[in-house]
């Protein structure tokens, strides 16, 4: 339908990028990227009239996005003709625009395109051997300065490597090292780094990606020299497990995961990393507070839980109460014994849910004058309940009377 419309209205439209890549790999990808050789915004307006849904346009970039009623997205971009030194002879005039547009992209596997116009619908464009690299599992940049021009591509390379079990080729690896030697990541704003870290934790196995980033010196490029790289690798592996266990139990949500990984990472870096994250990463106040609490006393709270002596459930509760879910998940990942890990898990799965049913009103009815005594009574009741001495609300009321 998009192709018919393009043909009728005199546009040239192509399906490109991740959509084509995943189509050839047989991987589901609900977002469709379309490049239009003329004005993409006006074309998108014509399409939305047909398909319905909502349109958002970004005049400055010559792009528009249609969100269909079922949630799928179609991105429209105007083909860009920036100058890049072409290694090969100029293509036929007709193909110049789309070829230029594809050449400025990150990796060859993302330069594949299909013509959508109905007269040549489905014609496959592969100017840069993208299909071969897709088949051979190569992540390959198109030009030497690709990572320097856009350092976020460093993170994208690692994500694609892990997602598809692909590998950067030798040339790409040396461009990457070259970019790191020039400290390109320090030129990226904290917000953009956060976006990339968020994208990493949305992949199926973030720990593999972070470990590769550590080995390639990418994380050091952001945070300074790692103080205990071997330990960090272990911690990252354990973080996947902790996150998975807590997600399966619906104790932690996907939106919380990035903060957990940040805590684990910062823990293996000098103080400077903590300061960079707090000051430069543009985090909201709540997240900054969580990180700050974790490293200023939070981590020490588990000291008591490390000892092998018996602890009542209420003692475990008191040690962990008021720590955020992110901190507790990170502590589980950093725990150096099963005993400690199990105690934190017990708190998360059971102890933190133990509720006192007696209310302030109940206490009033019993003739107790409101005041600080109320919270003392409630916490005493919780202690009794946690330790299994009392169970029901009647037990609670009897305990107070007694
Ligand atoms: N792109 C690029 N450089 C970037 C980001 C994107 O060249 N730093 C190009 C790639 O060609 C990519 C396209 O823009 O295919 C669309 O970007 P995006 O939707 O972010 O990428 P996908 O490849 O679809 O990645 P993902 O599957 O992770 O969404």
Q: How far is the CA of 245 from the centre of ligand 1 (A)?
A: 31
Q: How far is the CA of 302 from the centre of ligand 1 (A)?
A: 42
Q: How far is the CA of 18 from the centre of ligand 1 (A)?
A: 6
Nearest protein Cα to ligand 1, atom 9 = 105
> Which residues are within 8 A (CB) of 306 and not within 5 positions of it... i.e. 6 or more apart?
336, 337, 339, 340
Structure tokens at 383: 């202690």
Q: Grade residue 134 by pLDDT with cuts at 50, 70 and 90.
A: very high
Which pLDDT does position 144 carry in this prediction? 94
Q: Which residue, among 108, 212, 229, 112, has the nearest Cα to 159 in the 3D structure?
A: 212
User: Mean pLDDT in the chain?
Assistant: 92
Q: How far is the CA of 139 from the centre of ligand 1 (A)?
A: 13
Atom of ligand 1 nearest to the CA of 160: 28
268 neighbors 222 (Cβ within 8 angstroms) = no
Q: How far is the CA of 128 from the centre of ligand 1 (A)?
A: 16
Structure confidence by residue, pLDDT tens digits, 202-260:
999 999 999 999 999 999 999 999 999 999 999 999 999 999 999 999 999 999 999 99
Structure confidence by residue, pLDDT tens digits, 312-348:
999 999 999 989 999 999 999 999 999 999 999 999 9
Q: How far is the CA of 38 from the centre of ligand 1 (A)?
A: 21
Nearest protein Cα to ligand 1, atom 25 = 18
Nearest protein Cα to ligand 1, atom 21 = 18
Tell me the C-alpha distance between 312 and 304, whole Å. 12
| Other Cβ atoms within 10 Å of 288 Cβ, number | 15
Q: How far is the CA of 230 from the centre of ligand 1 (A)?
A: 32
Q: How far is the CA of 110 from the centre of ligand 1 (A)?
A: 7
Q: How far is the CA of 19 from the centre of ligand 1 (A)?
A: 9
Structure confidence by residue, pLDDT tens digits, 49-101:
988 999 999 988 889 999 998 888 999 999 876 544 444 334 344 456 899 99
Atom of ligand 1 nearest to the CA of 29: 27
Among 25, 27, 28, 33, name the best residue to mutate to test ligand 1's pocket (greatest count of ligand atoms within 8 A of Cβ): 33
Which pLDDT does position 95 carry in this prediction? 53
Which pLDDT does position 92 carry in this prediction? 42
Strand partners, 54: 67
Tell me the C-alpha distance between 199 and 210, whole Å. 12
Strand partners, 63: 58, 77
Q: Which residue's entry shows tokens 């490293």? A: 295
Atom of ligand 1 nearest to the CA of 111: 11
370 neighbors 338 (Cβ within 8 angstroms) = no
Which pLDDT does position 309 carry in this prediction? 86
Average pLDDT over residues 120-139: 96
Q: Which residue, among 61, 67, 3, 81, has the nearest Cα to 31 in the 3D structure?
A: 67
Residue 11 scores a pLDDT above 80: yes
227 neighbors 233 (Cβ within 8 angstroms) = no
Q: Which residues line ligand 1 (CB under 6 A)?
A: 17-18, 33, 105-106, 110, 150, 152-153, 156
Note the ipTM here: 0.97
Nearest protein Cα to ligand 1, atom 27 = 18
Nearest protein Cα to ligand 1, atom 15 = 17
């Amino acid at each position: 339908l998009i192709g018919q419309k393009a043909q009728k209205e005199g546009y040239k439209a192509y399906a490109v990028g991740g959509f084509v890549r995943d189509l050839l790999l047989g991987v589901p990808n609900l977002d469709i990227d379309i490049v239009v050789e003329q004005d993409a915004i006006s074309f998108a307006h014509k399409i939305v009239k047909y398909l319905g849904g909502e349109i958002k346009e970004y005049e400055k970039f010559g792009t528009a996005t249609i969100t269909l009623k079922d949630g799928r997205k179609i991105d429209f971009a105007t083909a860009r003709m920036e100058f890049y030194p072409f290694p090969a002879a100029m293509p036929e005039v007709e193909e110049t625009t789309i070829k230029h547009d594809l050449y400025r992209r990150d990796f060859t596997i993302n330069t594949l395109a299909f013509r959508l116009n109905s007269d040549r619908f489905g014609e496959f464009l592969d100017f840069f051997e993208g299909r071969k690299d897709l088949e051979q599992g190569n992540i390959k940049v198109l030009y030497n300065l690709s990572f320097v021009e856009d350092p976020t591509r460093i993170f994208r390379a690692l994500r694609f490597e892990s997602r598809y079990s692909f590998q950067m080729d030798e040339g790409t690896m040396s461009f990457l090292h070259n970019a790191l030697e020039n400290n390109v990541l320090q030129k990226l704003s904290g917000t953009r780094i956060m976006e990339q870290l968020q994208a990493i934790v949305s992949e199926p196995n973030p720990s593999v990606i972070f470990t590769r980033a550590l080995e390639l010196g990418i994380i050091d490029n952001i945070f300074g020299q790692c103080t205990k790289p071997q330990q960090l690798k272990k911690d990252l592996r354990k973080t996947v497990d902790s996150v998975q266990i807590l997600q399966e139990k619906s104790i932690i949500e996907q939106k919380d995961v990035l903060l957990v990984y940040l805590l684990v990472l910062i823990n293996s870096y000098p103080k400077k990393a903590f300061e960079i994250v707090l000051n430069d990463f543009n985090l909201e106040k709540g997240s900054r507070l969580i990180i700050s609490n974790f490293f200023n006393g939070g981590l020490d709270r588990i000291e008591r839980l490390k000892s092998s002596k018996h602890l009542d459930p209420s003692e475990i509760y008191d040690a962990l109460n008021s720590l955020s879910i992110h901190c507790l998940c990170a502590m589980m990942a950093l725990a150096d014994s099963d005993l400690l890990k199990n105690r934190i898990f017990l708190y998360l799965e059971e102890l933190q849910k133990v509720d006192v049913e007696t209310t302030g009103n109940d206490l009033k009815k019993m003739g107790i004058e409101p005041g600080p005594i109320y919270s003392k009574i409630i916490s005493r009741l919780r202690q009794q309940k946690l330790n299994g001495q009392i169970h029901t609300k009647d037990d609670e009321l009897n305990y107070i009377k007694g």
